[in-house]
Structure 1
Amino acid sequence: MRKFILALMALSLVVLAACGSSDEEGSSDGSENAEEKGTITFAVTPWTSTVPPTKVARIIIEDMGYEVEETQADVSSTFVGLSRGDLDVFMDSWMPAHENQFAEYEDSIENVATSYADADSGLVIPTYVEGIETVSDLKGREDEFGNKIYGIEEGASATEMMRELIEEADLDLELVTSSEGGMIAQAQREINQDNPVIFYGWRPHTMFNKLDIEVIEDDYGYFTPSDVHVLANNELEDKAPEVYEFLQNWSIPLEDVEEMIVKIEDGQDELEVAQEWIDENQDKVDEMLGN
């Protein structure tokens, strides 16, 4: 009996050793490779324009063997996180709107690439509102709009710029801040009733596909066409040189971003939309990868 028990214990040890060997071999595939390469963390602001570039870059970087995480953050938190190294990359920085934040942290944040240029933004009104082509034209007609401008969240550069614009133009208008979705929903309600309404708009965004609206000229110079940039913590080049090189070569057409936003808002999965773009633009992806 004693010999039988010893033999059974020896057999158990062999089986356990075999299982341990099998687990180690399984973990030495992509997961170990990703562990060795590390994790790239993206900041994701609550704007529809942030999602498509982030998802496209995520898929490409994961294909390099890195793990990728996304952290939801407002603009202020994004810049703080990038400066501390808690966040590695932000794909949707609007210049000149974010110039002040960038200047504050420029010792620790790098402007890596221009994603796309000449993106319009500013105060938006329905095209059926006549006689208003510039911000100055709003003076004396504020009551037609219920003395309100609808904007996005607190902390966004555009929110502070609108406050400054209202003050400098001496407009009797209250800025009502909300989420992007809340702002669009309010504007949609007013437009459905053919009411005059002022809100903040920018491209790329499906609001210009779905609503009959126009950006009015900012004759005070706060809102001008923007260039959208990729920002990174300045240690990314050392941390992940191939990711850094890829992001240096990054660019994507504004129209493509807008088209992807439409697909996502129509219910298509975000990563599926991003993968479709990659499949249809493999030459451009290869170019960004330096292939």
Structure 2
Amino acid sequence: MKKTVIFITIFLFIAMYGCESGGGSDTTASSNGTDNEKGDKPTLTLGITPWTSTVPATEIVKIVLKDMGYEVEGTEADLGVTMAGLSKGDVDIFMDYWDPQHKPYLDEFSDSIDVVSTSYDDAARGIAVPKYMEDVNDVDDLKGKEDIVNNEVLAIEESDPTVEEIPKLIDIYDLDMEMTNSSEAAMLAAAKSKIEKEEPVVLFGWRPHSMFHLLDIKLLTNKNAPEVLTPSTIHVLANQELKDNAPEAYAFLRNWRIPIDDIEDMIIKIDNGENPEEVAQDWIDDNQDKIDEMKNDN
């Protein structure tokens, strides 16, 4: 009797263990199947550089991607770190790549970064002065007047490729001037201080930016060296794996396009204290037909 009980106990134990093992496998398979049916999507990381031009498009894309079912994060860093992050896959998307200024970075990482689309083009850049400097309208008009602006062109960080051509322009026009570098905020603060006193000042200017609204400045023409500081084209970049990892997001970004005037209007609103996410949502609400077209993978 004891032997029979022991045998039955062992048999039941083995049977229960087998059922549990089989049940576990079935549960895992079912769980994986459910995940696939849900179409779980990866978390996407957007690179954010410390430029006012980066914010509007990035905020719009964040909202749209979230509406498409993606978790979205942002990581703030300078251009070099952002591009390196894109190459390694730590950053998935960057909305504010400027061509030709940033081309050296893209050349370095071209084997792992895709140029997905063009946001906008004809983004002017160059030497700017206040509009009250009425006798200065071309870079050549600064000749002989260098001392009234302390012989300097105010500019952003020297490490930014955007300003590399300013010394070339100074040499071409044989101006007795030097480029003085600082952050974007410091450059604008210094220019604003001068302009509030209606003193002459020369600074680096570019669109899209609120500086033309804030400071009432003008870009000078560049008749003697039109090949220097040519207008920029702004592109969307992505890590090459985005196309396979998030095909819907990639298809949307491939169709991305926005007018430069819209970007500039949003920059002005944000600089005036409006919430960037709310500004972006307002643009989406006013342009839902365009967003729907971008999301349609033709």
Instruction: Specify if TM > 0.5.
Output: yes
| 2:76 alignment partner in structure 1 | 72
For residue 250 of structure 1, give the secondary structure of its aligned residue in structure 2. coil
| 2:99 alignment partner in structure 1 | 95
> Residue type matched to 1:223 in 2?
L
| 1:281 alignment partner in structure 2 | 287
Distance 1:232 1:256 in 2: 23
Distance 1:80 1:110 in 2: 13
> Residue type matched to 2:53 in 1?
S
Residues 232 and 266 (structure 1), Cα distance of their counterparts in 2 relative to 1, 3 Å cut: same
| 1:40 alignment partner in structure 2 | 44
For residue 124 of structure 1, give the secondary structure of its aligned residue in structure 2. strand
Distance 1:105 1:169 in 2: 35
Residues 1:234 and 2:235 are matched in the alignment = no
Deviation at 1:52, TM superposition (A): 0.4
| 1:191 alignment partner in structure 2 | 195
Deviation at 1:73, TM superposition (A): 1.5
| 1:253 alignment partner in structure 2 | 259
Deviation at 1:168, TM superposition (A): 4.6
1:187/1:197 contact within 8 Å kept: yes
Distance 1:272 1:155 in 2: 32
Aligned length: 260
Residues 206 and 81 (structure 1), Cα distance of their counterparts in 2 relative to 1, 3 Å cut: same
Distance 1:223 1:106 in 2: 24
Deviation at 1:140, TM superposition (A): 3.1
Distance 1:115 1:238 in 2: 22
Distance 1:251 1:155 in 2: 28
Residues 80 and 161 (structure 1), Cα distance of their counterparts in 2 relative to 1, 3 Å cut: farther
| 1:203 alignment partner in structure 2 | 207
2:216 aligned residue (212, 215, 218): 212
Residues 1:125 and 2:129 are matched in the alignment = yes
Residues 207 and 102 (structure 1), Cα distance of their counterparts in 2 relative to 1, 3 Å cut: same
Identity %: 50
Residues 1:52 and 2:72 are matched in the alignment = no
Distance 1:40 1:168 in 2: 45
Distance 1:74 1:163 in 2: 23
Distance 2:211 2:236 in 1: 24
Q: Deviations over 1:165-201 (max 9, x none)?
A: 3345443323222221211111111111111111111
> Residue type matched to 2:273 in 1?
G
1:76/1:155 contact within 8 Å kept: no
> Residue type matched to 1:126 in 2?
P
Q: Deviations over 1:78-116 (max 9, x none)?
A: 222212222111111111222222222222211111101
Larger radius of gyration: 2
Residues 170 and 181 (structure 1), Cα distance of their counterparts in 2 relative to 1, 3 Å cut: same
| 2:147 alignment partner in structure 1 | 143
Q: Deviations over 1:108-157 (max 9, x none)?
A: 21111110111111111112224333333333322111011111124211
1:264/1:270 contact within 8 Å kept: yes
TM-score by length of 2: 0.81
C-alpha RMSD over aligned residues: 2.1
Distance 2:237 2:170 in 1: 30
Distance 1:170 1:236 in 2: 48
Distance 2:75 2:158 in 1: 18
Residues 229 and 188 (structure 1), Cα distance of their counterparts in 2 relative to 1, 3 Å cut: same
Residues 149 and 259 (structure 1), Cα distance of their counterparts in 2 relative to 1, 3 Å cut: same
Question: Which has the higher mean CA deviation after the structures are superposed, 246-255 or 63-72?
Answer: 63-72
> Residue type matched to 2:294 in 1?
M
1:125/1:197 contact within 8 Å kept: yes
Question: Which has the higher mean CA deviation after the structures are superposed, 78-87 or 245-254?
Answer: 78-87
> Residue type matched to 1:242 in 2?
E
